[in-house]
């Protein structure tokens, strides 16, 4: 361990700062947060699918790590591309926060009680598809911006509701704004939603003991299976793919879904917890055999 403060690279959003500070505190080291500007933060108008998906928030932070500008970086794991980056290792996956999606609606409304034609905002093609499946009468609209900006769409009357990850709302102390939290076994979340990723340079072992203590094997197994499915489907982290795995004894059980403009596909399977990648690959092969690639190519 070093006597100098650990430099933790982070985006400057409230959520990124909160997550990075939380992880650094649990490492038990003196730290400083180093703000890294990303293309995704600078371009707040283009849809994420047009500028590279949620991975646009990741590359600049990883570049700062590889250059030695920072020592540790913390991400929302669902935002990471599934390809393994050169020179970087996933050193810890802390215990998962809520994997669920959540509704923030005017007047305390729920997904069931929103009136026909109500406007609901989301930046996620997956969420948009699932909303239309459950409530085809809703007016689902694309939105961008940080959590405060998205909530303001409701509080200032531009939208009737927005859908966000419950984990981010919980981490920012905004749980009381949630009017409906969706069951993750019904409204399946994005792969690795609610989980954090702590990355270091591949050859940097100064913090290994602290990182090992922060790592949660149960969470890691679940999100590895979910992300392997995404990888094997050859889909990006903003693609309309959902996956949710839970540990049941020595078994890992996973539900997954893919969504197109005209149809969707659901799949369930189980496998040994010690080989989560095998479960993700096997489920993806089954879904590809059922036509998942054609479904995803339809778009939303």
Neighbouring-strand partners of residue 7: 32
Distance CA 229, CA 225 (A): 6
- CA neighbor of 122 nearest in space, from 83, 161, 85, 89: 161
Helical residues (DSSP H) of 180-244, grouped into ranges: 208-214, 217-232
107 is a catalytic site residue: no
CB 74 within 8 A of CB 196: yes
Neighbouring-strand partners of residue 161: 105, 120
CB 299 within 8 A of CB 128: no
For the beta sheet containing 251-259, the strands, ordered from the edge strand earlier in sequence to the opposite edge, are: 241-248, 251-259, 264-272
The DSSP code sequence of 145-179 is S-HHHHHHHHHTTS-SEEEEEHHHHHHTT-GGG-S
H or E element at residue 140: strand 139-142
- CA neighbor of 270 nearest in space, from 278, 261, 259, 262: 278
Distances in Å between the alpha carbon of 261 and those of 12, 132, 243? Answer: 35, 10, 19
**Residue in 3, 43, 71, 79 annotated catalytic:** 79
The residues assigned a catalytic role are 79
């Amino acid at each position: 361990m070093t006597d100098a403060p650990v430099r933790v690279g982070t985006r400057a959003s409230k959520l990124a700062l909160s997550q990075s500070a939380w992880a650094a505190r649990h490492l038990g080291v003196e730290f400083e947060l180093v703000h890294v500007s990303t293309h995704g933060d600078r371009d707040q108008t283009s849809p994420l699918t047009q500028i590279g998906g949620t991975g646009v928030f990741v590359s600049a932070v990883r570049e700062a790590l590889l250059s030695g500008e920072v020592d540790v970086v913390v991400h929302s794991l669902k935002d990471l591309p599934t390809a393994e980056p050169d020179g970087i290792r996933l050193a810890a996956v802390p215990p998962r926060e809520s994997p669920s999606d959540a509704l923030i609606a005017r007047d305390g409304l729920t997904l069931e009680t929103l009136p026909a034609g109500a406007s609901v905002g989301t930046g996620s093609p997956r969420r948009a598809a699932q909303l239309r499946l459950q409530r085809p009468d809703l007016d689902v609209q694309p939105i961008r911006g940080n959590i405060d900006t998205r909530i303001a769409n409701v509080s200032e009357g531009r939208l009737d509701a927005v859908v966000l990850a419950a984990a981010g709302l919980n981490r920012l102390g905004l749980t009381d704004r949630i009017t409906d939290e969706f069951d993750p076994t019904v409204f399946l979340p994005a792969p690795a939603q609610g989980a954090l990723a702590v990355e270091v340079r591949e050859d940097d072992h100064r913090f290994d003991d602290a990182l090992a203590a922060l790592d949660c094997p149960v969470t890691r197994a679940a999100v590895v299976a979910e992300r392997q499915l995404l990888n094997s489907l050859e889909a990006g982290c903003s693609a309309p793919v959902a996956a949710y795995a839970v540990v049941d004894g020595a078994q890992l059980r996973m539900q997954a879904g893919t969504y197109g403009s005209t149809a969707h596909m659901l799949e369930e399977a189980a496998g040994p917890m010690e080989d989560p990648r095998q479960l993700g690959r096997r489920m993806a092969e089954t879904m590809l055999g059922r036509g998942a690639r054609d479904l995803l190519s339809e778009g939303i």
